[in-house]
Chains A and B, each alone.
Chain A
């Protein structure tokens, strides 16, 4: 028994470690009052568990309980953990939005693959398609909409008040610039700086981060009168500088008391130093093509230009550090704080360590002030390891684990982290990013694996996500998009999915059929129509039932239905209900098309219709052309009916009885000899059949039989004379 917890670890194929150590008890409220005698538990749609509770059947209390409806109860339990960050509605919205983007990317991939004569490898500019896809999905995960920019900027507002960033978007962005965007390769460190600026608040929920430090200062800013006396102020500036939020640094420095008009004269030198630092900060050289809106620094595209500027800037920083003005600075805290900033700018590791809280922040400060040329994942990864040693984290942050996986260049780890933290949606859509330019990742993810039953990791995750989608009534229609991208098992699963869909309403049925049409599943389509037909038929909607069975071309069932209808027709096909039947027969359409045994009904309708047009009055004048014509038509219909093999034997007698009017036509025999003979033969066959034990008796009395025989005989005689 592999995988059983009771087995020793040596024999188990997959070690089973229960994630939840403590047993959890949930209380279930239900309407059954007395102790339940039996329980039935089954899976319902999606994550719902259906629990049926039955009460002990007892005779004496049945009366008093009758009004209480306490005989039993069915309770549905929704299993699963609510994701605090993104609620169900939002998740659905993301699923809706990402499906067309995914489908577009797949169809583009197929196009490129088809036009590519070199085989499996994609075009070199494939990543641009993926980038477009990635940006579309990134927007879905939440727009970092800053509140409308007011004309007068609040000088004391440090952090932009925007909606809280989501970690799924943070993860997506990380993967986008590492795996997709080729243009960002040359300035990856600076992209990480930008990323941290957006998502620093997500790094830890409990521990201190630069963001939380600034947020707490922001709150106190209004109360502090002499801001430069506060230790927190200088710490916050140092932290912001260490992670490269230069605009905030300059903003904070300009809040320094020496800028105040009433003090500027007394603190001229102090103010000069503060301003000098602010200028140095805002002219920091940065190895990136352009700045973000509101960002500070000088941008350099090429390495030589940057090196030149960097050396020059470091020279200016060092020069200011050795300046003689420091001696003349009276304000102790200002001097210490500014000196600290200079050390950070010079890349003093101890000061950087002191100014940052998380290893990611320390890593960022490394990129900015110590090793701005760090390139390649390997170098970044070893640097990250060094930072982790300096700043070990108490709780493992999922985003950081993901980042380490990316830096470690390990596709499997990245996928595992995505799956663990963000679920199937993220994995399926992120795989497109991972394989955008990396051939190695493509091999890993597309390789068919024996232990997965011959499918690739990519397909496995798509199948899983499709299952998730199909578990909800509103998202199941998206599942085919993902299943269509599964080459091995996709169609099989799609067939299963379609079979499982409810068919209660036409809208649902039509939707299922539409999906069948799109994916060319003719067989399933006709099965669905058959199921729909039977459903309607069983619920007494005969017209709709026949409609669907006809569309399905299900002759066997139509024949069966025809047999049942004959029973009804024989009894109730009075002139009264004829109108209602007429509509049904109309629906059956032109003869010979998917009709099965229902062909009989169609001919019978013609026969009845002609008969109805003949007035009951026996003495019809031959000049009444309309009646004569109708009678002739009725005879034709009668002969057709009698000749047709689809007319059941038990209808022969009622048909003959109906046509007495025709047989007794006064002016001339309407049936010729051979026609009369045919009818006589049928009558004879019937009489013989009556002797057989399996004959089911029709209600007609014996007298009727003999009167028909008499009428036929008379007609035969008259016909013979005429001929």
Chain B
């Protein structure tokens, strides 16, 4: 049913621990490439952030551990932002704390950073964070219904609460659209668009029950195209990927799942991201190709319209997330449920 990608190079790297999240790091050295990942060891109940380098010089690529930073609580998500020569890594935890750590380019180490752990920040797990690439401001959304903005100022983190849902709502994902605007997603496939200049509530909100069977859906991931800020692509329960266009707010554009006859994936879609590398088969469409990964082990590129999705991976276990290298968009990393990292290189 789905087309497959030819000449795809796949390298697998088993890890001794469960991988909760992973990201490419902006290049901090000339030749090697770096990834940051958060690991969880259930036997000792400990969590850590690691930086590993990927060397491609040899015939088969290798991953080397460079440095590790222990975390008190389990990391739920990571976000990375280049900051001069030192990329800043933000990590949020399931206990509601947020940590900023700085990756050192020369030493290839992790410098102890700044943390927010007080009760006023988030009272429950933070499910999603996103660093604004130009301002390094961090938006965080949690299941307690809070949306916070945090920033490093001097030697401490200052934060402000944009919205406090007081537990009446839960947010599961957040993503910047511009230095002022961001989008969030939550239960029931609800999507909201916020503008810091208009405080008090979302400026736009998806209607209730707007997708077939949406009462059972949760948004797990959002992405916003840098040049088309009005289109927000959303991935969630039941293999559903859809786009929400702010200009036609009442009706979503279904890309995958959501009651289609022959769904490619049926499990949760854990992550969606615009794929700048693959060419759109139909350049006239508004929505560029989107990459998604699912709990039933599918990594694929979907597009609106009649085009068949392109399946990159079909694993026997869940693919919990992936990241496309912003510098080399042909390459991507994904992390699998069975303690494994896979690196995919497209021709």
In the complex the two chains form, is A551's CB within 8 Å of B208's CB? no
Tell me the chain A residues, 64-89 only, with Cβ under 8 Å from chain B.
78, 88-89
A392-B127 Cα distance, complex, nearest whole Å: 65
Q: Within 8 Å of chain B (Cβ to Cβ): is A474?
A: yes
The verdict on A587 contacting B190 (CB below 8 Å), with A93-B339, A543-B167 known, is yes
In the complex the two chains form, is B268's CB within 8 Å of A580's CB? no
- Nearest chain A CB to B92's CB is how many angstroms away? 13
The answer, among B125, B165, B267, for a CB contact under 8 Å with A583, is B165
Residues on B close to A: CB < 8 A?
14, 16, 18, 42-43, 94, 123-125, 127, 143-145, 164-170, 172, 187-188, 190, 200-201, 208-209, 215-216, 218, 237, 267-268, 295-296, 316-318, 337-339
- Nearest chain B CB to A90's CB is how many angstroms away? 9
A178-B190 Cα distance, complex, nearest whole Å: 60
In the complex the two chains form, is B316's CB within 8 Å of A99's CB? yes
Q: Within 8 Å of chain B (Cβ to Cβ): is A303?
A: no
- Nearest chain B CB to A510's CB is how many angstroms away? 5
In the complex the two chains form, is B168's CB within 8 Å of A543's CB? yes
Q: Could you give, for residues 204-218 of chain A, a 1 whenever the CB lies within 8 Å of some chain B CB and a 0 otherwise? A: 000000000000000
In the complex the two chains form, is B188's CB within 8 Å of A589's CB? yes
In chain B, what residue has the closest Cβ to A588?
B208
In chain B, what residue has the closest Cβ to A99?
B316
In the complex the two chains form, is A93's CB within 8 Å of B123's CB? no
A547-B190 Cα distance, complex, nearest whole Å: 12
B residues less than 8 Å from A544 (CB atoms): 143, 167, 170, 187
- Nearest chain B CB to A144's CB is how many angstroms away? 19
A586-B216 Cα distance, complex, nearest whole Å: 14
A541-B124 Cα distance, complex, nearest whole Å: 9
B residues less than 8 Å from A453 (CB atoms): none
The answer, among B14, B43, B187, for a CB contact under 8 Å with A93, is B14
In chain B, what residue has the closest Cβ to A577?
B166
B residues less than 8 Å from A160 (CB atoms): none
The verdict on A584 contacting B169 (CB below 8 Å), with A550-B215, A589-B188 known, is yes
Interface of chain A, main secondary structure: helix
A residues less than 8 Å from B166 (CB atoms): 580
In chain B, what residue has the closest Cβ to A583?
B169
A residues less than 8 Å from B172 (CB atoms): 506
Q: Within 8 Å of chain B (Cβ to Cβ): is A420?
A: no
B residues less than 8 Å from A584 (CB atoms): 168-169
Q: Could you give, for residues 573-587 of chain A, a 1 whenever the CB lies within 8 Å of some chain B CB and a 0 otherwise? A: 000000111011011
Q: A88-B43, A542-B168, A584-B169 known; 9 other A-B pairs, CB under 8 Å?
A: A93-B339, A96-B339, A505-B94, A514-B267, A539-B124, A543-B165, A580-B166, A581-B168, A590-B208
A residues less than 8 Å from B167 (CB atoms): 540-544
A511-B296 Cα distance, complex, nearest whole Å: 10
In chain A, what residue has the closest Cβ to B338?
A96
Tell me the chain A residues, 503-529 only, with Cβ under 8 Å from chain B.
504-506, 510-511, 514
A473-B14 Cα distance, complex, nearest whole Å: 18
Q: Within 8 Å of chain B (Cβ to Cβ): is A593?
A: yes
A544-B94 Cα distance, complex, nearest whole Å: 16
Q: Within 8 Å of chain B (Cβ to Cβ): is A477?
A: yes
A452-B165 Cα distance, complex, nearest whole Å: 55
B residues less than 8 Å from A580 (CB atoms): 164-166, 168-169
In the complex the two chains form, is B208's CB within 8 Å of A579's CB? no
A547-B172 Cα distance, complex, nearest whole Å: 13
- Nearest chain B CB to A150's CB is how many angstroms away? 16
A residues less than 8 Å from B267 (CB atoms): 514
7 residue pairs from A and B, CB less than 8 Å apart = A92-B339, A506-B143, A506-B218, A543-B170, A551-B215, A580-B165, A583-B168
Q: Could you give, for residues 438-476 of chain A, a 1 whenever the CB lies within 8 Å of some chain B CB and a 0 otherwise? A: 000000000000000000000000000000000011100
A504-B127 Cα distance, complex, nearest whole Å: 13
- Nearest chain B CB to A110's CB is how many angstroms away? 18
Tell me the chain A residues, 526-549 only, with Cβ under 8 Å from chain B.
536, 539-544, 547
In chain B, what residue has the closest Cβ to A48?
B43
- Nearest chain A CB to B319's CB is how many angstroms away? 13
- Nearest chain A CB to B70's CB is how many angstroms away? 19
In the complex the two chains form, is A474's CB within 8 Å of B187's CB? no
A89-B41 Cα distance, complex, nearest whole Å: 11
In the complex the two chains form, is A587's CB within 8 Å of B188's CB? yes
- Nearest chain B CB to A149's CB is how many angstroms away? 15
A residues less than 8 Å from B168 (CB atoms): 542-543, 580-581, 583-584
The verdict on A579 contacting B201 (CB below 8 Å), with A514-B295, A586-B190, A586-B208 known, is yes
In the complex the two chains form, is B145's CB within 8 Å of A543's CB? yes
A residues less than 8 Å from B127 (CB atoms): 506
A477-B187 Cα distance, complex, nearest whole Å: 25
Q: Within 8 Å of chain B (Cβ to Cβ): is A100?
A: yes
- Chain A residue total in the interface (Cβ 8 A): 39
A residues less than 8 Å from B296 (CB atoms): 514
A593-B216 Cα distance, complex, nearest whole Å: 12
Q: Could you give, for residues 18-55 of chain A, a 1 whenever the CB lies within 8 Å of some chain B CB and a 0 otherwise? A: 00000000000000000000000000000000000000
A residues less than 8 Å from B316 (CB atoms): 99-100
A542-B339 Cα distance, complex, nearest whole Å: 34
The verdict on A474 contacting B143 (CB below 8 Å), with A506-B172, A583-B168, A587-B190 known, is no
A residues less than 8 Å from B14 (CB atoms): 93
Q: Which of B143, B168, B209 has the most CB of A within 10 A?
A: B168
The verdict on A511 contacting B295 (CB below 8 Å), with A477-B337, A505-B94 known, is yes
The answer, among A473, A505, A511, A542, for a CB contact under 8 Å with B125, is A505
In the complex the two chains form, is B215's CB within 8 Å of A593's CB? yes
- Nearest chain A CB to B121's CB is how many angstroms away? 15
A residues less than 8 Å from B190 (CB atoms): 583, 586-587
In chain B, what residue has the closest Cβ to A103?
B316
Nearest first, the 5 closest Cβ-Cβ pairs linking A and B are A473-B42, A100-B316, A96-B338, A584-B168, A89-B16
A residues less than 8 Å from B318 (CB atoms): 511
The answer, among B215, B268, B317, B337, for a CB contact under 8 Å with A589, is B215
In the complex the two chains form, is B188's CB within 8 Å of A547's CB? yes
In chain A, what residue has the closest Cβ to B320?
A507
In the complex the two chains form, is A96's CB within 8 Å of B317's CB? yes
In chain B, what residue has the closest Cβ to A509?
B218
Q: Could you give, for residues 543-581 of chain A, a 1 whenever the CB lies within 8 Å of some chain B CB and a 0 otherwise? A: 110010011000000000000000000000000000111
In the complex the two chains form, is A510's CB within 8 Å of B208's CB? no
A214-B230 Cα distance, complex, nearest whole Å: 74
In the complex the two chains form, is A510's CB within 8 Å of B143's CB? no
In the complex the two chains form, is A589's CB within 8 Å of B187's CB? no
- Nearest chain A CB to B162's CB is how many angstroms away? 13
B residues less than 8 Å from A593 (CB atoms): 215
A505-B75 Cα distance, complex, nearest whole Å: 12
A511-B267 Cα distance, complex, nearest whole Å: 9
B residues less than 8 Å from A539 (CB atoms): 124
A residues less than 8 Å from B145 (CB atoms): 541, 543
In chain B, what residue has the closest Cβ to A473?
B42
A residues less than 8 Å from B144 (CB atoms): 540-541
A387-B170 Cα distance, complex, nearest whole Å: 73
A553-B218 Cα distance, complex, nearest whole Å: 17
The verdict on A541 contacting B170 (CB below 8 Å), with A89-B16, A474-B339, A586-B190 known, is yes
In the complex the two chains form, is B208's CB within 8 Å of A543's CB? no
- Nearest chain B CB to A360's CB is how many angstroms away? 34
- Nearest chain B CB to A571's CB is how many angstroms away? 14
A408-B161 Cα distance, complex, nearest whole Å: 75
In the complex the two chains form, is A587's CB within 8 Å of B187's CB? yes
In the complex the two chains form, is A543's CB within 8 Å of B169's CB? yes
A144-B166 Cα distance, complex, nearest whole Å: 59
Q: Which of A88, A100, A579, A587 has the most CB of B within 10 A?
A: A587
In chain A, what residue has the closest Cβ to B315?
A100
In chain A, what residue has the closest Cβ to B42?
A473
Q: Could you give, for residues 583-603 of chain A, a 1 whenever the CB lies within 8 Å of some chain B CB and a 0 otherwise? A: 110110110011000000000
The answer, among B42, B165, B216, B337, for a CB contact under 8 Å with A551, is B216
A544-B170 Cα distance, complex, nearest whole Å: 6
A504-B124 Cα distance, complex, nearest whole Å: 11
A685-B208 Cα distance, complex, nearest whole Å: 37
In the complex the two chains form, is B317's CB within 8 Å of A587's CB? no
A550-B125 Cα distance, complex, nearest whole Å: 22
